[in-house]
Amino acid sequence: MRLITTSLLCLLFSLTCQAADPRFTVIPVDTTTEELQLYLRDDKDRGFKQFDRLKTWLAGQGKELRFAMNAGMYHADYSPVGLYVQQGQQLTPLNLGDAYGNFFLKPNGVFLLTQSGPMVVESSEYPPLAAKTILATQSGPLLLRKGVIHPAFKENSTSRLKRNGVGVVGNKALFVITEQPVNLYEMAQFFRDELHCQDALYLDGNISGIYSTELNRNDATVDLGPIIAVVQATTDAK
């Protein structure tokens, strides 16, 4: 899997891209050539919760963990707050309810993968896509919808946290984690102006972390619910 700087990534997508922004790390995943999966519990129904536990379990399955990131908000029991689809199987349903918190700041959305590629859609737009979904995770709020920043975001907001999210350009899912605290407007602006995404979804804040073999990075974080990952068969398993 390739991990590239913002400036190089933008060069690949646009000849008019500006310089890299050191506040953000971007992990592009080409869904046509890389195996993207969601993970929550092992075959004994034990939550993975940590990247290292997932890495160890995958090794027993003949697979290597290449990249991982927390993949959406979860309850105290680590179950997803909203929709969660793993290997084509829905484990928790779409949540269109109203409540307090970022997840429920409408419009919220779903990141999903089908045979046609990755998508970020507004949550109410998901049901017609369900039959073709390979994986899906619901979170909120949407950072971008059709190129427009979420109307509730304020450019001068003082609510700054470490955050992570995902956007889509063609067949590439662009996973982003912040290296400095940012507000939601700044994060959405980065997806729009630097990565040229039309649609992007906020995954979570403060707990955000990544595992990456290419970056030699394994962020220490609290126990997690859903984890999204890139895996590949080990040499012995090929």
**DSSP codes, 24-61:** EEEEEEETTTSEEEEE-B-TTS-B--SHHHHHHHHHHT
What residue spans define the domains of the chain?
A: 6-233
pLDDT category, 13, cuts 50, 70, 90? very low
pLDDT category, 7, cuts 50, 70, 90? very low
**pLDDT (tens digit per residue) in 38-96:** 999 999 999 999 999 999 999 999 999 999 999 999 999 999 999 999 999 999 999 99
pLDDT category, 234, cuts 50, 70, 90? confident
Q: Kind and range of the H or E element at 188?
A: helix 184-193
* pLDDT over 70 percentage in the chain: 90
What pLDDT score does 220 carry?
79
- Rounded Cα–Cα distance for residues 191 and 193 (Å): 6
Answer yes or no: are the C-beta atoms of 150 and 142 closer than 8 Å: yes
What pLDDT score does 236 carry?
58
What pLDDT score does 117 carry?
97
Residues 6+ positions from 147 with CB-CB distance below 8 Å: 192, 198
Phi, psi of 182 (to 5 degrees): -135, 160
What pTM value is reported for the model? 0.91
- Rounded Cα–Cα distance for residues 145 and 198 (Å): 6
Answer yes or no: are the C-beta atoms of 80 and 92 closer than 8 Å: yes
The chain-wide mean pLDDT, for the chain, equals: 91
Q: Report the chain's terminal Cα–Cα distance, integer Å.
A: 17
133-173-82 Cα angle (round to 5): 50
**pLDDT (tens digit per residue) in 104-133:** 999 999 999 999 999 999 999 999 999 999
Extended beta strands in 102-171, E state: 109-114, 117-122, 133-139, 142-145, 148-149, 163-169
